[in-house]
Amino acid sequence: MEMINKIGRRKTSVARIYMAPGNGTITVNNRSLEVHFPFELHQIVVKQPLTLVGVDGNYDIKINVDGGGSTGQAEAARMAISRALCEFDIEHRPALKKEGFLTRDPRMVERKKPGRRKARRKFQFSKR
């Protein structure tokens, strides 16, 4: 039984996964997927690559996520799972690449500038 270790990133989140053939249990930070991601959309995002290639329930996945918010963590996990699926079977690669699951999203939060309230938002203008 081979265990595959992959990493995925999104915004400031990092997901490290350990994936092995099994009965489809997904644990995130030693908790179930439903407990760590109570919002159903994030659960769907994490499972997207598995359902796309039709192997949902064939692998046991242990995910360690760190940093960022829940959306970033879910998308980081999705990327790591996609990379692991390519390692298990190279045939999955074209389908996953077409959906964009193997591409690192380079968008990061823009830094706050001096003399501004946020990165681009100016302070409220006061006439007097």
For the record, the structure tokens of 93 come out as 């690669």
pLDDT: which is higher, 5 or 2: 5
Place of tokens 């692998």: 59
* Secondary structure (3-state) at 4: strand
Summarize the confidence of residues 46-74 as an average pLDDT. Answer: 94
pTM greater than the 0.85 cutoff: yes
Report pLDDT digits (tens) over 29-44.
999 999 999 999 999 9
Supply the pLDDT for residue 98: 95
pLDDT at 4 over 80: yes
Write the DSSP string, 77-114.
Answer: HHHHHHHHHHHH-GGGHHHHHHHTTTS-----PPPPPT
CATH topology of domain 4-99: Ribosomal Protein S5; domain 2 (3.30.230)
> Is 11 in contact with 109 (CB distance < 8 Å)?
yes
Report pLDDT digits (tens) over 74-86.
999 999 999 999 9
Report pLDDT digits (tens) over 114-124.
999 999 999 99
pLDDT at 2 over 90: no
